[in-house]
Amino acid sequence: MATRRELKDAIRERYRAATERRDRRKILEEFVRVTGYHRKHALRVLNHASTSAFPRRRERLYDEAVHQALIVLWEAADRICGKRLTELIPVLIEAMECHGHLQLDPVVRSRLLDVSAATIDRMLRREREATGRVRRRRWGTGSAVRQSVPVRTFAEWGDPPPGYFECDLVEHCGGVKDGGNFVHTLTLTDIHSGWTECAALAVREQSLVVEGIRAIASRIPFALRGLDTDNDSAFMNETLRGYCNHLRIEWTRSRAYLKNDQAWVEQKNGAVVRRLAGYGRLSGLNASATLGRLYQSARLYVNFFQPSFKLASKQRDGALVRKRYHRPLTPCQRLLASGRFDEAAKQQLREQFAALDPVALLTTIRAAQHELSTLSNRDTGDAGALDKPEYLAAFATAWHSDYRAPRGRRKTTTKHWWRTRIDPFADSWPFVESWLAAEPNLAASELLIRLRRQVPDLYPTGAQLRTLQRRVKGWRAERARQLVFAAASAEYAALGPQTTS
């Protein structure tokens, strides 16, 4: 690079000193042959002044303190993607600070509010990779078509007011449907807001399905106006028909063997039900009751603290499909922004949201998942239920190994904790710590230069730069963790032991 830079400077002087056009052309052609540059690029190089060999280093905008705080928010949001998390961060910070779970430095808070979705995904790449890949949910099949119920396709929904739900059943059979009955989950998803409710059914029976729909209808913040089901015999029966006719609920069905007609609820089957309960086999009243307790906390967490995308438009050009989405919002936020939702109900939603603690809800969910994993015949390992007084340490390190979602766990491996070589900075690390304490932004290369001046016999070649970079990175991560969590941890220590109901 130095030789090429010197060549550019030398030829640039000759090129500018030439007065004849043919001389300048010859110099340009010679420069193109030597460097291999395109002619237009060579003209730009020769006509512009040379830049500095060492460009000014841009300061890092998002330092380790922001990274550690972002991990906590990501864990509190149940590890959602960056596009959804960037919309939830303002709400989540306010809720966690309101309940005493987080106390951020003003600079860290400001940078968290300004971080983009792409930056979030880039900063959390290592943590996401450590949690392992997840498998896709399995697809079932519909049953016979009942001609008495009108058909509604996905494209016919439009933009209905709140209260029109898609309904589906999820089987917790463990993959093979044998050995008696198993627990089912009844899932309802509102088309307008994405509001999702789940109910655990001990067996698959039409009267229990109606009772589950009635229980869900009693706790949603708006009236149940419409119900769209698949062609399962648990729905296509006189029991559900009588219920819908009595309450004047509009009842429609999807086309047989076309799952996309119920895309709204099918997406929630994977994003909510399978994510919470996994794919293991659940059977019996005990498993049904435990799953019901899981959904009691999950319904509040999902509907108030989990932003989701909503399709705005879709255009097809041959095999190319262009989709455009609205910005991610929680179902609660969509209802509050809706002009077709009662103002009194909006005020009740605001009051309910103000009283909710996302960390307490997530702790209850993890405890129910831990109990559910012991009841499943497909043991997926310890769910790692969080202890509320220790939530800060758990959130900061949960992505390592202590908890994986039921559908994303993998076999654990032994962590490599031992050293294979002697630490070259064991004796000189106190010097480095003192320099970092005085100037935290010092680069590892500058620190190594100082060490070579201080103790030249230990570092004659400077080959230990990468090792020093790792040590400095660990030091900064530890200081950032103390900066983010020290105040809130002291507050919890002052409050004494706490329990979660």
Phi and psi (nearest 5°) for 313? -160, 160
Tell me the C-alpha distance between 203 and 206, whole Å. 9
Angle of helix 465-495 relative to helix 444-454, nearest 10 degrees, comes to 110
Predicted pLDDT at 50: 62
Tokens of 266: 């099918």
Q: How confident is the model at residue 262 (pLDDT cuts 50, 70, 90)?
A: very high
413, pLDDT greater than 50: yes
Tell me the C-alpha distance between 448 and 455, whole Å. 10
43, pLDDT greater than 80: yes
pLDDT in tens, 179-229: 678 899 999 999 999 999 999 999 988 899 999 999 999 999 999 999 999
383, pLDDT greater than 70: no
The domain defined by 154-383 folds into: Nucleotidyltransferase; domain 5 (3.30.420)
Tell me the C-alpha distance between 259 and 154, whole Å. 10
> Mapping DSSP to helix (H, G, I), strand (E, B) and coil, where does residue 15 land?
helix
From edge to edge, which strands make up the β-sheet containing 164-171?
196-201, 184-190, 164-171, 226-229, 250-253
Tokens of 491: 């507050």
E strands, 68-210, in order: 164-171, 184-190, 196-201
Confirm if 266 and 259 have CB atoms less than 8 A apart. Answer: yes
HSE value, Cβ hemisphere, 13 Å, CA-based, for 393: 7
Predicted pLDDT at 273: 95
Residue spans of the domains in the chain: they are 2-47, 64-131, 154-383, 429-495
493, pLDDT greater than 60: no
- DSSP 8-state assignment for residue 389: G
Confirm if 135 and 170 have CB atoms less than 8 A apart. Answer: no
Give alpha helix (H) positions in 140-284: 206-219, 238-247, 263-268, 275-277
Tokens of 15: 């090129």
> Mapping DSSP to helix (H, G, I), strand (E, B) and coil, where does residue 21 land?
helix
Estimate to the nearest angstrom the gap between the alpha carbon of 291 and the chain centroid. Answer: 23
Q: Exposed, middle or buried: residue 269 (CB in 10 Å: 0-12, 13-18, 19+)?
A: buried
pLDDT, mean of residues 269-288:
92
Helix (H) or strand (E) holding 248: none
375 compared with 188, residue with greater pLDDT: 188
Q: How confident is the model at residue 138 (pLDDT cuts 50, 70, 90)?
A: very low
Longest distance between any two alpha carbons in the chain, whole Å? 97
Predicted pLDDT at 323: 92
Tell me the C-alpha distance between 455 and 49, whole Å. 41
Angle of helix 358-375 relative to helix 82-98, nearest 10 degrees, comes to 110
Phi and psi (nearest 5°) for 199? -135, 140
Among the residue ranges 169-173, 376-380, 393-397, the one predicted with the least confidence is 376-380
Helices (H) and strands (E) in the chain, counts: 20, 7
Predicted pLDDT at 140: 37
62 Cβ contact list (under 8 Å, min separation 6): 111, 115, 119, 123
Q: Rounded to whole angstroms, what are the CA distances from 459 to 344, 373, 442?
A: 72, 53, 19
Instruction: State what percent of residues in the chain have pLDDT above 70.
Output: 82
Phi and psi (nearest 5°) for 253? -140, 165
Confirm if 253 and 143 have CB atoms less than 8 A apart. Answer: no
Residue tagged 């500095």 (tokens): 52
Predicted pLDDT at 135: 45
pLDDT, mean of residues 449-468:
87
73, pLDDT greater than 90: yes
| Nearest partner of 460 among 452, 469, 468, judged by Cα | 452
Amino acid letter, 392: L
127, pLDDT greater than 50: yes
The model's pTM: 0.65
Tokens of 407: 């559908």
> Mapping DSSP to helix (H, G, I), strand (E, B) and coil, where does residue 308 land?
strand
Confirm if 406 and 130 have CB atoms less than 8 A apart. Answer: no
Phi and psi (nearest 5°) for 371? -70, -35
Phi and psi (nearest 5°) for 335? -70, -40
Tokens of 111: 């940078």
Q: Rounded to whole angstroms, what are the CA distances from 104 to 96, 112, 131, 155, 245?
A: 10, 10, 26, 45, 54
| Nearest partner of 336 among 195, 430, 468, 476, judged by Cα | 195
499, pLDDT greater than 80: no
